Amino acid sequence: MKAHTKETQSTMSPQKALDFLKEGNQRFQNNLKANRNLLEQVNDTSEGQFPFATILSCIDSRVSAELVFDQGLGDVFSIRIAGNFANEDILGSMEFASKLAGTKLIVVLGHTSCGAIKGACDHARMGNLTALINKIEPAVAAVKEPQDESLRNSKNLEFVDAVSAENVLQTIKNVRERSQILADMEKQGEIKIIGAMYDLSTGAVDFY
């Protein structure tokens, strides 16, 4: 499989970009890999890159976007931060990726049993991590069930995953509200902004 070129990127629609990721995750689940020569892709992309998607995911070592979607060099922009939320710098990165570099799809990818989400559920406080946790805690408050405080913590994995899903939705809302550039591009059909959840136990990605 060759690296993407300006021509292949220009013919890519947001839906086709999404289909590419779905197909890649299916290959990953089936332990199949597209036939690609990474060193050849190094050469192909040495003078430019034409990725088709931008993926915001967690830093979790088990959730590498390139691996779980079976993508090669030059295929996707990968933005990673604990808890996969969007701050000003990440929004700027997304704007660069979409408006200037031509990607057609933005995916906010959460995952099950997320450590950052667990920290937010427990209202953890430690050094610079405190500020990061504060950005995720609105998703904790937004999940209303269970109401019993003794069940609203990291020991309740069902609650943790519900918060993780809510955090993805809040991040998407944040992207649309805080980036006029991306919101306008989405309205004009130039890009899609969607959420997804990666299951650590199966390798499957469920797109919202």
Q: What is the pLDDT of residue 3?
A: 82
Residues 163, 120: contact at Cβ < 8 Å? Answer: yes
SS3 of residue 113 by DSSP: coil
114 annotated among ligand-binding-site residues = yes
Confidence class of residue 202 from pLDDT cuts 50, 70 and 90?
very high
C-alpha angle 201-144-112 in degrees, rounded to nearest 5: 10
Cis peptide preceding 51, ω within 30 of 0: no
Query: Minimum mean pLDDT among 47-56, 79-88, 166-175: which range?
Result: 47-56
- Taking alpha carbons only, the member of 62, 42, 52 closest to residue 21 is 52
Residues 93, 41: contact at Cβ < 8 Å? Answer: no
More confident residue, 55 or 40: 55
Domains (range + CATH), the chain: 6-207 (3.40.1050.10)
Percent of residues, the chain, with pLDDT higher than 70: 100
Check pLDDT > 80 for residue 84: yes
Residues 186, 176: contact at Cβ < 8 Å? Answer: yes
Confidence class of residue 115 from pLDDT cuts 50, 70 and 90?
very high
Residues 56-72: what's their mean pLDDT? Answer: 97
Helices (H), the chain: 6-10, 14-29, 38-44, 65-68, 88-95, 115-121, 129-142, 157-178, 180-187
111 annotated among ligand-binding-site residues = yes
Ramachandran quadrant class, 189 (left: phi over 0; alpha: psi -120 to 50; beta: rest): left
How far apart CA 68 and CA 18 sit, in angstroms, is 14
Q: What is the pLDDT of residue 194?
A: 98
How far apart CA 80 and CA 102 sit, in angstroms, is 19
More confident residue, 42 or 130: 130
- Taking alpha carbons only, the member of 102, 113, 100 closest to residue 165 is 113
121 annotated among ligand-binding-site residues = no
For residue 53, the surrounding DSSP H or E stretch is strand 53-57
Residues 60-64: what's their mean pLDDT? Answer: 97
58 annotated among ligand-binding-site residues = yes
